[in-house]
Amino acid sequence: MRRPMLAALALLGTAGAAGYREFSYADVGGHWRPVAAWCDTPGRVLAITAPRGQGAVRPATLVQWTGGRLSARTWQYGPGEGAAGSSYVALTPAGQQVSDDPTYYVHTSNVENVQDPAYRLTRVVEFRVPAGTFRCRYVPQAAVLAATAKHSVVVWEQGGKVTYASRNRDGTAGVQLTGGTHTQGAGGDEYQWRRGGYTYALEVGRDGAAGGRLSVSRGGRLLSREALLAYSVSVSR
């Protein structure tokens, strides 16, 4: 990362001028928090919460789930710089001096970005943290991206068609479903698919009711339920 220059730190949850609004959250030890960015990888899920306070460098919580284990520590988020279609925001451990050439950062796209109405979600490219550099899964034009301890989940919605796909945490293919329904409530959204007597449901909250879960039932009997670790949902303005 080159020498940072002072820049406004844009949250993923901010609204574009037209098109879509994006809401992104993570479960931080049982408390759902808005996030500046989060990253889904085969062996790890990472998130940096929306920074607190004012200024180019602000405190935030760096959250990581590895093998079902949660780590949450305070870091400094910022400053940021933009170059060649990318945005880099520095990550610095709490109590350390912010460097002109930071070792750790969050890299997002300035092109594939919800500020442009052509894109539903902002692309988070990678997190660089002490454990390594982690490239993030990104699915163009997804309406929902979500992660549980066992699965990565994607929902597409276009022209009244609602499609679901999941991948197992080890990267192998999961389930693909079409013909779903989308119900919008006061505080969130529910997506549902039916196939072979099974009902798959994904619930995601927003607007002050963050949280979510993925469940499978058959004949009214719940077979499985997984809490979401982090998710982004894109809705029309």
Q: Would residue 7 count as lying in a domain?
A: no
How far apart are alpha carbons 46 and 26 in whole angstroms? 9
* Domain extent for 98: 20-135
Q: What is the CATH number of the domain that holds 191?
A: 2.40.128
**CB-based contact 75:52 (threshold 8 Å):** no
DSSP 15: B
Q: Tokens in use for 233?
A: 């949902």
What total number of domains does the chain contain?
2
Asked if residue 1 is part of any domain, the answer here is: no
Residue pLDDT, tens place only, 199-220? 999 999 987 789 999 999 999 8
Cα 220 from Cα 55, distance rounded (Å): 51
63 contacts 75 by C-beta, under 8 angstroms: no
Residues 134-182: pLDDT tens digits?
999 998 899 999 999 999 999 999 888 999 999 998 778 889 999 999 9
Quick one: pLDDT band at residue 11, thresholds 50, 70, 90? very low
State pLDDT tens for residues 87-103.
Answer: 999 999 999 999 989 99
Q: Verify that 43 and 76 share a domain, yes or no.
A: yes
Whole-prediction pTM: 0.88
